[in-house]
Amino acid sequence: MMFSVEKLPCGAGLAVAEMPQVESVSVGLWFGVGGRHEPERLSGVSHFIEHMIFKGTRRRSAREISEAVEGVGGYLNAFTAEEMTCYFAKASARHFPRLCDVLLDMLVHSTFPPEEIERERGVICEEIRMYEDQPQQVAQEKLNALLWAGHPLGRPLAGTVKHVERMSRADLMDYRQKHYHAGNLWISIAGKVSPAQAKAVLEPLLKRLQAGRPAKASPVLVKQRAPRVEVVRKPIEQSHIAIGLRSVSRHDPQRFAVRLMSVILGENMSSRLFQEIREKHGLAYSIQSTVSYLHDTGCFGISAGVENGKLSKALTLALKSVKQFAAKGPTAEELTRAKEYTLGQMALSLESTTNQMMWMGEHAISHGKVIDPSKVTEKIESVTASQIKAIAQTLVQDSRLNVAVVSPVAEAESIRALSHF
């Protein structure tokens, strides 16, 4: 992967991966603001703004925004995360100027019509209610609340119905003006476009953006001494478990060992948890592990959907498997397979213009620079079994353990009694 990175005169960052072998281009505009930056009163405001950016500008209606990109065979989308918000588009490379014009028109000239705000308020409230009917989502949100109790990271990204219903147009406009500026922006581009072409198109458009400073967020100050447990009773057909261990940040050199630990324990069908919980005991249809990294914290997580009557056994076996892994570490075969899997997945992913754009944007907004995939490869290849064992023993502690369960049958006291290493 070949790319160039620079700061533009307006203060925004630009990362370009020229891919002359393809015919498309993907463009992402990344703002360093997300759920963790929000005050409690405005919980969900970043997500609300993301929706409103698509609802019309001084030059285009909401329909004309969609038609401008879809009309040339492209697509346009966005997402809000804990520490960033991204707006992105993909189309034939010959339409690159159009993509940039539409995206920056949306981000600079959105008008937030009052009637659209009310309409979208209803849409977002229904989105929140939809999530409340999804037990996996409920379990994850309850887990986040345990992991980061009292911090914005512990709140749902979409906010609550109560928060969304009372948010005013002035709240949305003020928050956008505060955070959507050149000093808080990275632009990532991957495809059949050179850095010179990108700058020639972008620099006139970026003159519309105001200057500013990157957003700041409150640090995570964790004071956990024992396992935390939350049980939600819902009349559903399957019980859902979400386990979270507070882990390392995206800047911690141990993050590569944590990633391999996750692969070995639960990221594919040959993983320990899949083999133990599903294949050997038949307790779950799905069980997987994940790793999330944030600026100053992180999470190693396990999620599973299990038969109601086998919830206790599944939870016990999952925690036992993790404890055994921490005690002995990975086998040589597991380590080799995990490295090959991780590097193979990364290589396959980076064949896509969209994924190269995402790689550069996520790194730039998180690290202030783009990390070359070859450097990540070197770090992954250098991880030893003893390093994985060491970080596993650090993480697998009752003082880091959080368990959320959504079930029609679970009792809080019984789940609490099982939630320990």
Nearest to 164 by CA among 48, 81, 52: 48
Please give the structure tokens belonging to residue 33. Answer: 């603001």
Please give the structure tokens belonging to residue 387. Answer: 């390093």
| Contacts within 8 Å (CB) and 24+ apart, 308-313 | 308/237, 308/238, 308/239, 308/407, 308/408, 308/409, 309/409, 310/283, 311/239, 311/241, 311/405, 311/407, 311/409, 311/410, 312/414, 312/415, 312/418, 313/281, 313/283
Q: For residues 266 and 248, what is the distance between their CA atoms, to the nearest angstrom?
A: 18
Q: Any idea where the domains of the chain sit in the sequence? A: 4-206, 228-418
CA quadruple 82, 107, 176, 50: dihedral positive or negative?
Answer: negative
Q: What's this model's pTM, rounded to 2 decimal places?
A: 0.95
Cβ atoms of 13 and 58 closer than 8 Å: no
Residue entry with tokens 């490379």: 93
Residue entry with tokens 């990157």: 214
* Residue spans of beta strands (DSSP E) within 294-398: 298-306
Residues ≥6 apart with Cβ < 8 Å to 161? 125, 128, 129
Residue-level pLDDT at 254: 98
Domains 4-206 and 228-418 share a fold: yes
Nearest to 300 by CA among 336, 343, 334, 264: 264
Please give the structure tokens belonging to residue 89. Answer: 């588009």
**Residue 302: alpha-carbon gap to chain centroid:** 16
Domain 228-418 is of which CATH architecture? Answer: 2-Layer Sandwich (3.30)
Q: For residues 261 and 339, what is the distance between their CA atoms, to the nearest angstrom?
A: 10
Q: How many CB atoms lie within 10 A of CB 9?
A: 10
Compute mean pLDDT per 10 residues along the chain, 421 residues long, and list them.
94 97 98 97 98 97 97 98 98 98 96 97 98 96 97 97 98 97 97 98 92 90 93 96 98 98 98 97 95 97 96 97 98 98 97 98 95 97 99 98 97 96 97
Q: For residues 168 and 117, what is the distance between their CA atoms, to the nearest angstrom?
A: 9
Please give the structure tokens belonging to residue 371. Answer: 């990390």
Residue-level pLDDT at 340: 98
3-state class of 17 per DSSP? strand
In angstroms, the first-to-last Cα distance of the chain is: 42
CATH number for region 4-206: 3.30.830.10
Q: For residues 215 and 418, what is the distance between their CA atoms, to the nearest angstrom?
A: 41
Q: CA of 296: how far to CAs of 216, 222, 241, 372, in Å?
A: 12, 11, 25, 22
Residue-level pLDDT at 223: 84
Q: For residues 253 and 250, what is the distance between their CA atoms, to the nearest angstrom?
A: 8
Q: For residues 134 and 109, what is the distance between their CA atoms, to the nearest angstrom?
A: 36
What would the DSSP string read from start to end of 282-321?
--EEEEEEEEEE-SS-EEEEEEEEE-GGGHHHHHHHHHHH
Cβ atoms of 83 and 36 closer than 8 Å: yes
